Each structure stands twice: as C-alpha cells, then as structure tokens.
Amino acid sequence: MNHQASILRTALLRRQALVVPGCHDALSARIVESAGFAAIQVSGFGVAGSLLARPDVGLVDMKDILDITGYIVRAVQIPVMADIDTGGGNAINAAQITERLIEMNVAGVNIEDQVFPKRCGHMAGKQVIPAEEMAGKIRAMADSRRRLGSELVINARTDSYAVLGLDEAIRRANLYLAAGADMAFLDGIGTRADIERAAREIHGLLSVNLMDAVTGVKTELIPIPELAAMGIARVSIPVASIMVMHRALTDFFQALHSAPTGILPGETQRISTFQEYTSFVGLPQYRKLEHEYLQGDPLCA
C-alpha cells in the first residue's frame, strides 16, 4: 500500500483547504517541505521553465516529467502529487503512466482535459477534448489503481471554465468524479461566487488554484480560512516556486552586472551562506559517511 497516498487522501477528505504548493525540482520541493507544508505538487509550468526555459505549452517529454517527479519523491518525506498534463495520449497511455506513478510512491496525480499540446491553464487559447474521452482516461487510471491496490489520489482537472463556462465545468467535474476521480479541479475559475457555486454543486472533493498566492492571475484571491469554510479540499499554488526563482536570480545577476566593482560586498540578504546551503542539502551527513567508509581517502582529511 502507498502510505503517502493514504496520508494525502486523509488530509483532503477533511475539506479544510489543504495548501499544496508547486515545485519545479527536488531542491524547491525540499524548500517547500522545510517551510512546513504537508504536501506538494510537481508544477508542469515550473518544470517547463526550469528544464527548458520555455513556456508550459506541452514541450516537455513525459519521460522527463516522470524522471523529475521521481527525484522529487525521493527528496522529500511529504506526499507528492504528480502532473501528467493530458495523460500522455489516450486512456491506455494514462493507465500505463498511472502504474508508473504508483511504483514511484507518488501520492496523487493531476490530469487535465485539454487538447494536446496543452498549455498553462491561465493562458489564452485553450481547447478541451470531449468530456466522455476524458472520463475514459479516468476510468482506465482508476482501474489500474484498483488492480495495484493503491490509494493514489486522482485529481481531474477541467479547463472548460474558460472555454465553455461554469455550467459545463461543473457538469464535467461531476462526470469525472463518477468515472473514478477523487477530486475535481476547475482551473482558471474566476470569482468567489463561482467557487461557492462549484462547491455546492460538485458531488465530491474540489480543488481551486490561487496560482501564485500573490496576484491570483485569473482567480480571485480568497484567504485560505475562507476557502476552508466553503469546504474546499485543496488549494493549489503551483507556480510560485519558479516565479520566485526567476525574480531572485534576475535581481541578483542584474545587480552583480551593474555593480562598478563586479561584486556586492555586504549584501548578504541576497544569498544563502555556503554553510547554510551545504547543510540544507545534507553535506554533513555525507561527510559522516566518508569518515565511516573512506578511511585514508583524501576526502576524509
């Protein structure tokens, strides 16, 4: 049994707006965990940016997505939700990927009903596949999960809100839940009133997306306690890690390039110390292993 999936499922069933930040690599995942969050998700938007320096428009190979997800799972102790975009193809592809995720000890997975190649849910130009086709993918994933005795959380994302409106998004969410999804996610939903209606009319767990928790982008920023009071199960903050990294690196290297001396003496607020960073990534533990197993090796000096 996947212990991490059980932990995630229990937390979501409380409907207390579990905050699940996104990460784009193993280091950002470890940082989110160290901040105290109880679960994390892989951000497809962040992976596209960090791996390729490209937008989230379906350019990342599924093998790379799975490899990075595996690194993240091994880097943290909290449950990890994967992002498999549109499922790698048809229902058979989605089922095979589900089996891979279960083998990797992934706790949950996001799959969306966009046409491939997909794009970030807050970008213009989205298109969605027929609802019945998406329901078939979810049924296949749920059957794989059942066959392997897993509690993997399947989060069915619909991008139909922006394309076809709230009524259709709610209809699709309920269809996907009936097909075997555990949670529905109406990406890009706009207002408090729409979220409240969705919470009333969707017959299962509901996830909302605050994008970066600062600007909200297309979704109205609502305090987490208020979302919990609505019975929202999960609050996704998927892109903050890559946005923070982009801003921090941009600010630092622009300042360094502009500095007359080519250095930034005294501006320690811009950077972790060498000791802080190496301690965070576990160098002291590796030094202990060197002393135990590499007697006489120069590394142990």
Does residue 82 lie within any of the structural domains? yes
- By percentage, how much of the chain surpasses pLDDT 90? 85
> What's the confidence (pLDDT) of residue 135?
98
Same domain for 301 and 217: no
pLDDT digits (tens, 9 = 90+) for 259-270: 999 999 999 999
Domain contains 169: yes
Q: In whole angstroms, what is the distance from residue 55 CA to residue 94 CA?
A: 23
Q: Name the pLDDT band for 72 (thresholds 50, 70, 90).
A: very high
Q: Report residue 131 as tokens.
A: 């609802």
Residues 204 and 300 in one domain: no
Same domain, 173 and 292: no
**Does 233 lie in the same domain as 292?**
no
Mean per-residue pLDDT over the chain, rounded: 93
Task: Please check whether residue 280 lies inside any domain of the structure.
Answer: yes
Q: Do 146 and 289 fall within a single domain?
A: no
Residues 159 and 69 both lie in one domain: yes
The DSSP bridge partners found for residue 207 are: 185, 234
- Evaluate whether residue 253 is within a structural domain: no
Instruction: Tell whether 226 is covered by a domain.
Output: yes
Residue 184 belongs to a domain with what CATH number? 3.20.20.60
* Whether residue 295 sits in one domain with residue 241: no
Quick one: 191 and 88 in the same domain? Answer: yes
- The number of distinct structural domains making up the chain is 2
User: Within a domain: residue 266?
Assistant: no
* 284 within some domain: yes
Residue 136 has pLDDT above 90, yes or no: yes
Q: In degrees rounded to 5, what are phi and psi of residue 114?
A: -80, 160
Phi, psi of 28, rounded to the nearest 5 degrees? -65, -35
If asked whether residues 64 and 18 sit together in one domain, one would say yes
What does the pLDDT average to over 270-280? 95
Contacts of 266 (CB under 8 A, 6+ apart): none
Mean pLDDT across the stretch 118-136? Answer: 81
For 158-198, give the secondary structure using H, E and C. Answer: ECHHHHHCHHHHHHHHHHHHHHCCCEEEECCCCCHHHHHHH
Domain that residue 299 falls in: 272-301
Dump pLDDT digits (tens) for 286-297: 999 988 898 765
| Residues 188 and 298 occupy one common structural domain | no
Residue 300 lies in a domain: yes
pLDDT higher than threshold 70 for residue 123 = no
Helix (DSSP H) and strand (DSSP E) numbers for the chain: 13, 8
The band of 211, judged by pLDDT with boundaries at 50, 70 and 90, is confident
Q: Both 78 and 113 in a single domain?
A: yes
